[in-house]
Structure 1
């Protein structure tokens, strides 16, 4: 039979036991360190440097953009540390032998300037060091090999202030091409008037596109770079296909646009008023005309930047473009 006295004794024992557990817990907390200390231990055991995204960069290359700085950066990464507590140095060289069998041509040394001729610094507190590569616009302006991935920069790490250079990741071949700031995919909106060539009588007038509905249903024009200041448009007015194209040349001094006929196009365009490039809103405003069979056509249209693919990345009009 359990008496009231026994119940009280049991309750006191339980309370005493809980008090002991609480005291032990408080002691442990008092003498413990930061709960994340275990994760600050370098479990890898050595530091290594390497070129990140090597396979991707060697496959897609890098684009330098006329009108946006003519520059890109090469990265060197440090692994094997939870925290980089000091500046680390990576020495490299341009190694032409890396181009053997690639089909690439060594980038002429007078075309570019490196931020440092043989060193990449990974700053304290960072895991990535960057080496700027700037290109000379005058030197490359008329070199048509830049239209595609023909030139390359071959870099090899030769020494580092850390334990090692990661095997298989200490060299990289970077193909480089030139595009201009006008390249990309553009929403097309415009109007066409058709006149009989002989009588000059208006036959038909129609519009294409809608300013209030920039959706996937609207026509998209692709503008591809032809060196520093010129693009080729894959269509004329509302006609598209292999037989329809024209060229736009932008004067960077005043952003005026010269419309140039493409010899391969069925429609040979001519200017028909003032055309302009708006670099803030990224919009072409175009006026041109052409003759086909027994009719003259007058076109007024706008091309509004939608997106572009650069180095495998999709850049949309509302991401990183001032005024959009």
Structure 2
């Protein structure tokens, strides 16, 4: 299993830079256009703290569509069943749907269950729901209160995935449509007394910036419900909400990748045995984002920290 990931080094001098408008702000999420689109892989959807949702052409390196928002955007996704629709999760806990044929404003606003930022949003495919009320316009999101299911286009509130009421703070959510697998990452809630203690100079930053957390492996059933498959222990950030990724291999085997906060390296779990099967090269800074793609029959895992980008090829 260790040999299934091979690192590639990219020279920055050979890369192309896309210059974003100065008021874009920090980019919180980036999603490449999916295979269901007419031109897959040629557009990038960006959610940013500058209250912008932008679409960038990866061919011309220009911003082709830009939506001005009322609050910062924390997450985004393409509608996998309708290439004209995109979604943005906002800092105030609400969700916006945009139609790319209407560039003035959002065509639908759905208010969430809390005012916590929606740090992750995934578009769910129709094949997931054979015998349920959910459909192609369903989304899976996550905020601090936990993972949440949304139905777009109906007059009903989203609902929390049950079973996580006392697990702490949800900081990451990975999902794979092909295997119907989801991994929700939680860190413990901290009392004010503990927060005060952590703020005191009792050790180096590396000693107080992480704590033990949990990855919960879930499987979606045909009726839209979730069954818990197992728990994996991990070292998570005390403050950040980093991204995680599910890697699909042959025979529906899956791996789960997450940046370990203590060692600052990406750890890879086998989702059947729940064992760590690989620890990748460490970064100087904490891992902030992970993205996996298996377009064109080649699996690629990208790992980003403050000053490093790693690309791994995955034998699928």
TM-score in terms of structure 1 length? 0.23
TM-score (norm 2): 0.24
Higher helix proportion, which one? 1
Q: Which has the higher contact order (CA 8 A, sep 6+)?
A: 1
